[in-house]
Structure 1
């Protein structure tokens, strides 16, 4: 329902819309809850047995779903097992990170089959170089697997910025942290001969966490990623919140100081200038080039010094906990999440070592009621979360629209 000047306009769903919705409901349940049965699918989706049977038969004929064997029975009628045909096709996830582009090939059960990495020097990369690198990695991995592009359901690309969808179908990426200003990714899939889907990396990672990780079943939550920079994905009513033009979640560039450090985005006082890995290392040792390109080593070094009682390391660690707690409290007061999932390569180390302290900091800065309700947890997906998140993009599109069904074996 759309509302304009107080007048409700209701668009009646067509038969095609209803069929697509039913297909998506059933396929999503099988994908995320399989192995299952037709009766369980009906109970979970609220669809009639006849509808489940019709759609399931179509999915089996399509090659997306497979039926065989039986679930354990308590004495009643045995229920046939329904599951995703994991070997029916391949999906590829690619993530443009802070120091490298990671690319992996998965089967439809998200089991990794091949992986490649491409280093990014100086945290800047030209769009043409990124496109060429991903293309070369895809060709290399498919050759390794003895597979053709026709077997690939799609490639998902996670990027560190805002993905703008234009009315003419073009996709522009605004990612100042890697030097992209309205970078045009139109025709990327055509170049590869594979359907390509692009989204902000924090959003795609949040989707993966909601499907398979700590955000599973969460109706209202926030996934935060902390590395060199910081980003967030917001879940509301069980759905990823995008905002008016899909830029919601640029939490790392919200401000927690009027005269704070200069940020890569060209402004000052951004969250990432206080909680990003390099910012914390600079607070410990002072701004120098010691850890440039070796930030993960630097983080382990400061944690060792902190455990050994080093006072400077203690001040830096205390600072990141307080500033991250303050930044997260703003999300708590704005969105009232039931859960905040902390991830990203640096965020994961913070959560592993300091989650109780971070939880206390969030509550101390938040309003009492939402602050007392929210629970902080560590991401369950680990270092592969971003690439896995990217790989969910073609799967999500296939579930919703059936796009790429002709590529199933």
Structure 2
């Protein structure tokens, strides 16, 4: 028999529902919150009053009105709390600090050679980044609600630091970040980078308001996030989206996963560079190599043009398989290499997807470049602690301290926002 929800549970649920709308919508009013959530005017006013008292939400003036009472605008205070997000890729670690409304304030990137980085080295880099970012922005650690990590490979849910990360291609197959919370003194949440990016696209990017979408990330590897019925699809053990290791050729090149003909072994950046330069000439420095490839393409180099055309054709084939499987409204292409392809060759890529898709779903699916850019993984990772903050109702330590002035402010706020009217109080 299901446990009956307590009054506290219902209030936390209502708070989460309203705060989520405020985070995603930006400025809005109490009446609009009531309309979008279906909550009663009294409930909206009561919960919003609580959010104002704790410092999470602020009033931002009035909405112009042709007549009647003016509506008070509300917004989440970006300085109410801070959050860190990190993109742990196979070639570098990028960490950024954001306000509560996820505006990026500062960022650090540390590249490293090779693709089998030791998790302890990642932890050292993250710790250094966190220290530098807090110092640069003047943010106290007590103001930070957590650090989100977007990592390669399959991450068993839930996304706690003790979650097991299965990333065979870089040698991880354990709870690699279980020790990081204690080291940093911050809550740490871990998820697959493609999934964190998909959440960011759903909140703020090209997938916002889209019920069925695919977010495809192509760098040196490849991955995908799947949105179905407006929710991120994870599968039975959270491995859904390992698109980079689906096969598009029976006799294709060997992949790092031990198989052959995988998507990433054909359309990943290093694979495309090898097809241009040949294995013996490939240097292993993907961003620099891709810049040279694109410059050669623009200069009319025949080998470069063949390599890029083949990459677009195979990427179109790989994306068409997703179209036929999931029937998305949109395919959003991102990742540092995918962003370049979508930027320079949008028409060719869309045409290739349609060519290999079934006619009806292929014509319906819109292929577009990510609006969030190449730093979307870190932003997506930052949504993990924000999501937890929204659902849990926990506030940073610095806002838990009481003082006579703060109690006086709270009393004034309570009087000003007594739950007797929805707006204009």
TM-score band, normalised by shorter chain: over 0.9
**Secondary structure of residue in 2 paired with 1:255:** coil
Query: Separation in 1 of the partners of 2:277 and 2:327?
Result: 36
- Out of 108, 112, 132, the position equivalent to 2:104 is 112
**Deviations 1:250-296, CA, capped at 9 Å, x for gaps:** 11011112232111112211100110011111111111354312x22
Match of 2:410 in 1: none
Task: Tell me: higher relative CO, structure 1 or 2? Use CA pairs within 8 A at least 6 residues apart.
Answer: 2
Q: Are the equivalent residues in 1 in contact too, given 2:82–2:99 (CA < 8 A)?
A: yes
What is the match of residue 241 of structure 1? Answer: 233
Distance (whole Å) between structure 2 residues aligned to residue 18 and residue 332 of structure 1: 39
Check if 1:298 corresponds to 2:289: yes
Equivalent residue number for residue 42 of structure 2: 50
User: Counterpart in 2 of 1:326?
Assistant: 317
Deviates more, 1:335-344 or 1:250-259: 250-259
Q: 1:395 to 1:299 in 2, by over 3 A?
A: same
> Residues of 1 paired with 2:16 and 2:88: CA distance?
29
CA distance in 2, matches of 1:241, 1:199: 13
Pairs aligned (count): 400
Task: State how far apart, in whole Å, the 2-side matches of 1:166 and 1:381 are.
Answer: 25
Partner of 1:366: 357
- Counterpart contact for 1:157–1:198, Cα < 8 Å: yes
Is 1:35 the counterpart of 2:21? The answer is no
- Tell me the distance in 1 between the aligned counterparts of 2:298 and 2:205: 29
The residue matched to 1:122 in structure 2 has which SS? coil
Any idea what SS the aligned residue of 1:73 has? coil
Structure ID, larger Rg? 2
Q: How does 1:3-402 map to 2 (within 5 A)?
A: 13-165=5-157, 170-293=162-285, 295-402=286-393
RMSD over equivalenced CA pairs, Å: 2.0
- TM-score if structure 2 supplies the norm length? 0.89
Q: Which runs of 4+ in 1 moved over 6 A?
A: 166-169
Partners of 1:208 and 1:408 in 2: how far apart?
27
CA change 1:302–1:78 in 2 (3 A) is same
Deviations 1:343-399, CA, capped at 9 Å, x for gaps? 011101100111111111111111111111100010011122111111111111111
CA shift digits 1:81-111 (9 cap, x unpaired): 1110111111111110132101111111222
Structure 1: which 5+ residue stretches go unaligned? 1-8
The answer to whether the 8 Å contact 1:24/1:400 transfers is yes
Alpha-carbon deviations, 1:166-222, whole Å to 9, x = none? Answer: 899831111223221224322422221111111111111111111111111111001
Q: Which moved more, 1:334-343 or 1:135-144?
A: 135-144
Superposed displacement of residue 16, structure 1: 4.1
Where 2:27 maps in the other structure, the secondary structure is: coil
- Structure 2: how far apart are the matches of 1:11 and 1:219? 31
Instruction: Give ranges in structure 2 of 5+ residues lacking alignment.
Output: 401-425
Whether the 8 Å CA contact 1:127–1:183 is kept in 2: the answer is no
Q: Is the 8 A contact 1:153 1:407 kept in 2?
A: no
Measured after TM superposition, the shift of residue 68 of structure 1 is 3.9
Task: Name the CA distance, whole Å, in 1 between partners of 2:301 and 2:18.
Answer: 56
